[in-house]
Structure 1
């Protein structure tokens, strides 16, 4: 009992109690599991039960006593920063109720490292679906457009309809899970921030994932809802092109996917980089409409990017084939020399900035299926 009390305090129990007292009581709906319950559910955290491993922890597949299949997230670190992220994720997720956001079931604080328990999402990540062959479920244009719309609606909900606006800060294809019907579920809220209505931005430590990180936020540390818009734009480009956020193709030109894409749009060569798997079943008008929308999301200046509410509306309109709406999205072909596509090469930026940047969490070599997150504190 003494050990459990010690772990409860160290794992943020007091911080959670403080958050509970200042919240609307939503967190109380979350089940508090005992350590024995989760040990049994995960077969003592058997390695064979591992679903994934990232910068913030390891996720295990488990089965509760009532037969429900769950995902148990076990944090890797005990330091104060990690504990705050854990409690932050718990409080934020407890207030979210949306079909395209992963559902939090409960937590456990009496173990050596804190634990979160989520609904189990069976079909992996969007990143895996895009980049790994899946003969059982072809990634058609219709599916891609639906998934993009579902993600946009979820992020729009976070920005506009949650109890307080929430900025996710780490929208990327590996944080989009796919359920049994391959519907999108936004996950991993450890880096997210709630924002009071009287604030238009936050000044924070730069946190996000290389390749998806808003360049304006990278340089100014001013976090706004438009930072999520930028990251979402990168995901849309992944869906359009089948390319990774950072790949050898772009590296040869010294550019991230976002700058490579905007440069291609500038030269009116979109067709050359579209994913060959969707050329036969996709409408060129729809692809062009989505590409132009992605370009707007990737604008260097956040003020020029559309809000997620507008993005979700336009994607749904494109998907439904509403000509009166899509005609405003699909702009007439212009001489792209007349349009200034001012892009930032984050590959170069990272190399230049690293000498004067304190890295607060180690950046390991990216695996074959993910791009590592950044946690930067520029002084």
Structure 2
């Protein structure tokens, strides 16, 4: 490995920085090994290869430090938290966090790190992104319904409760309205999600080639070659379709795996999710979200106090759901959390102002 010659006599600041890099590399390698321990097959091999790469980076800093290695340092707080989560969960959330950690590598801006190391870190980000994408795809259908359900419950019922409360009606009316909104919204969300997912799956199934097409191939007129129309309809050029159809027909005797049936339809179905799973998830999460703004009224709070407590509780949960979405998407959890909070509070504030307006008018 080629070492940097920009600092022949390292200063105290250089040594501290190198020791910090060394500690972080060791911690990141440990994270990948912990994640690998919770996986099998190809994913395990990839994670172990990433750990080996971090080991090469570790060796670079060891060689630069020489006798100045000193006592081992702990990795930074983010990496230690990541390691804790990897040892106990090993989920897509941890991979999403690891993706963000790789994206924050300082090597591209540090002349003491080799260009190869900086390039490695960029590639590591893409490797982890691809691994996380597998988990995101498995989660996408039910997770989407859960997140949307919870946020709809939080925002819609907070807006409903605050709007009714602002109109000046009695506390029990606000409570009954909130519970009615919870039940109506949860049932509506569950039914709507079931219909949506089932309809999408049915559309995909309608687009999936018929398996019985396989049995018709031996009886095709080789000269007319109707099979070329199939491949042209799927987007091939006439020449490509003709060549591919001839190849299929010439190998009918040993034919077994020609994708007349769309193999990728299974993956599309998986990403959409299952109707009942999505419906149940949406129902439960909408109900749990919609319950939050009702809690102050259930415990007897009234007026401005109930409004403030309801808004604060909903705000905390909105921040949490926004942060989770940010983590899974590989984006900034803070930005996603604040965006979620702003949208939710904006809708609730508009309804509250309308409630005040109608309350004053009707009064």
TM bracket, shorter-chain basis: under 0.3
Give 1 or 2: higher strand fraction.
Answer: 1
Which has the larger Rg? 2
| TM-score of the superposed pair, with normalisation by structure 1 | 0.26
Higher relative contact order (CA 8 A, sep 6+): 2
| TM-score of the superposed pair, with normalisation by structure 2 | 0.27
